[in-house]
Amino acid sequence: MSFELPKLPYEYAALEPHVDARTMEIHHSKHHQAYVTNLNNAIAGTEAESLSIEEICRNISKYPMAVRNNGGGHYNHSLFWNIMAPNAGGSPQGELAEAITKQFGSFEDFKTQFAQAAATRFGSGWAWLCVKDDKSLCVCSTPNQDNPLMDIAECKGLPILGIDVWEHAYYLHYQNRRPDYVSAFWNVINWDEVSRRFSAAMK
C-alpha cells in the first residue's frame, strides 16, 4: 500500500486573506505531493509499506533520512490542513480551554509561548502544541520535517496543533515577516479539530 496526498478539506482560496490561495495551492499540490511521492519511493519494497504514518514516525530512528524527511513531511502537512479552516479562529472551548489555562496560565500566555516557539525556530521547521505521555500540554518546536511523535525528537508528545514555519508556507505573501504570518494563523485555527485531537489524546 502506498501513501496518498489527502484532499484539502476546503478550497485553496478559503483561508484568504490570512493564507493566500497561491501559497496554499503550491504548498498542497507541489510540496506535500513531493513528500508523499518521495516517501513512497523511500519505503518501496520494505515492511514500512504496511505501517501507518504514525507507526513509522514513532520508530523513525530505524529508517533512512529520506523516510524521516518525507514521512515527517507527510504526517505534518496532513495534520496542518485539518487544524485550519475558513471562518475559524477565536479561542478553544471546554476541556481544552481548561487544560490550556491550567498549563500556561491563560490563553494569551499560551499564544505568546506558541508564537515565540514559531518565531525562534531557526531556519525551517514547525512549532507545536502537544499532549505529553503524562497528559500535560507542552509547546515546543522541531527542525525540518521532524515532529514530536518521532523517537528522535527532543520534545515528545502527540501533536494536536502545529504551524509550518518553512518559508514555503508564507514567503509569497509575507516575505521575511514570519511573525506576521504567525499572528495571522490565529484567525484560521480550527479549534473544533484541535479539541477533537485533544480528547482522543486524553483517552
Residues that bind Mn ion (CB under 5 A): 164, 166, 169
Q: Give 15 or 137: the residue with its C-beta nearer to Mn ion.
A: 15
Least distance to Mn ion from the beta carbon of 168, Å?
5
Number of H helices, E strands in the chain: 9, 3
Least distance to Mn ion from the beta carbon of 201, Å?
23
Task: Give the residue at shortest CB distance from Mn ion.
Answer: 164
Q: Give 69 or 195: the residue with its C-beta nearer to Mn ion.
A: 69
The half-sphere exposure of 71 on its side-chain side, counting CA atoms within 13 A, is 28
Least distance to Mn ion from the beta carbon of 72, Å?
11
The cell numbers describing 6, all together, are 489527502
Q: Give 81 or 198: the residue with its C-beta nearer to Mn ion.
A: 81
Q: Are strands 137-143 and 158-164 parallel, antiparallel or unpaired?
A: unpaired
Q: Give 164 or 193: the residue with its C-beta nearer to Mn ion.
A: 164
Least distance to Mn ion from the beta carbon of 80, Å?
7
SS3 158: strand
Q: For cell 523513525, what's the residue?
A: 60
Phi, psi of 89 (to 5 degrees): 90, -150
Q: For cell 527532543, what's the residue?
A: 154
Q: Give 138 or 165: the residue with its C-beta nearer to Mn ion.
A: 165
3-state secondary structure 177-203: CHHHHHHHHCCCECHHHHHHHHHHHHC
The cell numbers describing 177, all together, are 515577516
Least distance to Mn ion from the beta carbon of 141, Å?
14
Cis check for the bond before 17: say yes or no (omega within 30 of 0): yes
Residue 127 bridge partners (DSSP): 141, 163
Least distance to Mn ion from the beta carbon of 187, Å?
19
Q: Give 29 or 136: the residue with its C-beta nearer to Mn ion.
A: 29
